């Protein structure tokens, strides 16, 4: 294939970021869009200059011109559409979280093994330039052996003054409906990003302990925040933690979502600090390393959160052309799902939980 023809299934607000990858892409074109809302499907097709639009994903999958699909629907639809797409002979990229249960993950993995095409779970944070650079430094031994990781998320309010806003719509209500979202706007939905990064940086996780509070946010939706999650890695005596808090009184300068992330990695010889990702709460260099009393600031990196979607999707397109598996594979996505669910189970039962306890 000289140029991959892609169909987007589900073109709500997150699709705005995914579509960025196909603008001026030499390797792929956004050929088709699909949404249950006909008005939205028509508008997106016109906006993104897609050749075709659909309201039924089965019709999109039946189109022989479509080579690959991105599944950007509510979480409860991920498994059934992924399996149908693989059976239709399409390459698949499915938005995080992979699915709402480990049983669904297993079914998706089985379908991928039967197919001649590949499936990947899309998690964009690992493609954020500062995250990728931090991983490069860590793997090169720049701060010695990794000892621990500390991660922090603050969720606030996007002020009307936010300049150059890309994402306009509020969080859709289905994300707070457990039957549709799988339960856990923070621990599963947002948490998939954080848990995937924790594994990306330091490796496989053995066991988890969590505290999660449930309370209404500014719109009356039940949010699983504040929360504190801690874990132990399989390799050596290494630990990680993730703290998430939310406050409707914090205004977050952002073009995207009213939330931001910080990461601190401690090594045997120094530290790496990632100072922002989704937004711009902390006005300092996006990435800082300290070793042997010397501080190095990485101020020349691309800090636009949208770039992580462009880089992540273009890597997926290249993986198709090169015949390789793009991260995250189905097996990797399942492990992240188990990580998220283990944190929730721990908080419910007040005990540490091993990932392998989370089964179908």
pLDDT band (50, 70, 90) for residue 161: very low
Per-residue confidence (pLDDT) for residue 159, from 0 to 100: 59
For the chain, the maximum distance between any two Cα atoms, rounded to a whole number of angstroms, is 61
pLDDT band for 19, please (50, 70, 90 cuts).
very high
pLDDT at 10 > cutoff 70: yes
For tokens 């869009």, what's the residue?
33
Tokens 């039962």 sit on residue: 349
* Residue 336 binned pLDDT confidence (cut-offs 50, 70, 90): very high
What's the pLDDT score for residue 90? 98
- The residue ranking higher by pLDDT, 279 or 218, is 279
Say if residues 170 and 219 touch (Cβ distance below 8 Å): yes
What is the per-residue pLDDT for 56? 97
Q: CATH topology for 4-124+309-328?
A: Rossmann fold (3.40.50)
The band of 248, judged by pLDDT with boundaries at 50, 70 and 90, is confident
- Within 10 Å of residue 322's Cβ, how many Cβ atoms? 9
Name the pairing type of β-strands 353-354 and 205-212.
antiparallel
Question: What pLDDT does 155 receive?
Answer: 92
Higher pLDDT, 69 or 281: 69
pLDDT at residue 103 greater than cutoff 80: yes
Its CATH class, for the domain covering 126-303+340-347, is alpha beta
Residue 63, pLDDT above cutoff 80 = yes
Structure tokens at 13: 């607000």
What whole-number percentage of the chain has pLDDT above 90?
Answer: 85
Does residue 158 register a pLDDT over 70?
no
- The answer, yes or no, to whether residue 198 has pLDDT greater than 50, is yes
Task: Please compute the mean of the pLDDT values over residues 270-278 and round it to a whole number.
Answer: 97
pLDDT (0 to 100) of residue 2? 80
* Residue whose structure tokens are 């607000």: 13
**Number of CB atoms found within 10 A of residue 284's CB:** 11
Which pLDDT belongs to residue 165? 67
Q: What pLDDT does residue 236 have?
A: 83
Q: What band does 304 get if pLDDT is binned at 50, 70 and 90?
A: very high
Q: What is the mean pLDDT of residues 294-305?
A: 95
Position 331 pLDDT exceeds 90: yes
Does residue 151 surpass a pLDDT of 70? yes
| Spatial strand order in the sheet of 28-34 | 52-54, 28-34, 4-9, 68-71, 91-95, 119-122
Tens digit of each residue's pLDDT (9 = 90 or more) over 112-136: 999 999 999 999 999 999 999 999 9
Mean pLDDT, range 155-183, rounded to an integer: 77
Residue 359: pLDDT over 90: yes
C-alpha separations of 244 from 168, 176, 188, 213, 227 in Å: 23, 17, 13, 10, 5
Cβ–Cβ < 8 Å for 336, 328: yes
How far apart, in whole angstroms, are the C-alpha atoms of residue 360 and residue 74?
20
Q: What's the pLDDT score for residue 169?
A: 62
Residue-averaged pLDDT of the chain: 94
- Averaged over 103-119, what is the pLDDT? 97
Cα 255 to Cα 135: distance, rounded to the nearest angstrom: 25
Model confidence at 253, pLDDT cuts 50, 70, 90, reads confident
The pTM is what? 0.95
Q: How far is CA 229 from CA 51, 154, 160, 196, 226, in A?
A: 45, 14, 32, 14, 10
Helix, coil or strand: residue 307:
helix
Range of weakest confidence among 124-133, 177-186, 193-202, 225-234 = 177-186
The domains of the chain are located at: 4-124+309-328, 126-303+340-347
The backbone torsions φ and ψ at residue 230, rounded to the nearest 5 degrees and listed phi first, read -125, 155
Of 45-59, 62-76, 80-94, 145-159, least confident by mean pLDDT is: 145-159
Give kind and range of the element (H or E) at residue 353. strand 353-354
Between the CA of residue 95 and those of 58, 61, 62, 280, 291, what are the distances in Å? 18, 17, 21, 24, 37
């Amino acid at each position: 294939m000289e140029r991959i023809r892609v169909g987007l299934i589900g073109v709500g607000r997150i699709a705005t970021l995914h579509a960025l990858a196909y603008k001026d892409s030499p390797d792929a074109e956004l050929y088709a869009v699909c949404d249950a809302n006909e008005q939205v499907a028509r508008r997106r097709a016109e906006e993104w200059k897609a050749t075709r639009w659909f309201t039924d994903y089965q019709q999109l999958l039946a189109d022989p011109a479509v080579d690959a699909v991105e599944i950007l629907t509510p979480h409860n639809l991920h498994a059934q559409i992924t399996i149908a797409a693989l059976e239709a002979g399409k390459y698949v990229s499915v938005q995080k979280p992979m699915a709402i249960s480990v049983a669904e993950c297993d079914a998706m993995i089985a379908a991928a093994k039967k197919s001649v095409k590949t499936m990947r779970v899309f998690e964009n944070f690992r493609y954020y330039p500062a995250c990728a650079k931090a991983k490069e430094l860590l793997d090169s031994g720049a701060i010695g052996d990794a000892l621990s990781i500390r991660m922090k998320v603050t969720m606030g309010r996007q002020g009307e003054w936010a300049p150059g806003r890309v994402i306009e719509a509020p969080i859709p209500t289905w994300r707070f409906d457990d039957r549709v979202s799988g339960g856990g706007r923070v621990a599963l939905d947002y948490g998939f990003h954080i848990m995937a990064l924790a594994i990306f940086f330091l490796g496989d996780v053995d066991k988890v302990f969590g505290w999660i509070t449930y309370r209404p946010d500014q719109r009356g939706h039940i949010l699983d925040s504040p929360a504190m999650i801690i874990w132990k890695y399989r390799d050596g005596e290494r630990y990680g933690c993730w703290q998430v808090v939310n406050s409707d009184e914090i205004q977050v300068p952002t073009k995207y979502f009213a939330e931001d992330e910080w990461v601190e990695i401690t090594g045997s010889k120094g530290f790496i600090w990632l100072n922002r990702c989704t937004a711009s709460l902390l006005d300092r260099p996006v990435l800082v390393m300290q070793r042997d009393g010397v501080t190095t600031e990485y101020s020349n990196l691309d800090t636009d959160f949208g770039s992580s979607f462009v880089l992540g999707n273009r890597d997926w397109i290249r993986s198709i052309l090169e015949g390789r598996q793009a991260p995250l594979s189905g097996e990797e996505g399942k492990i992240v799902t188990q990580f998220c669910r283990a944190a929730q189970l721990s908080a419910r039962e007040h005990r540490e939980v091993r990932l392998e306890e989370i089964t179908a």
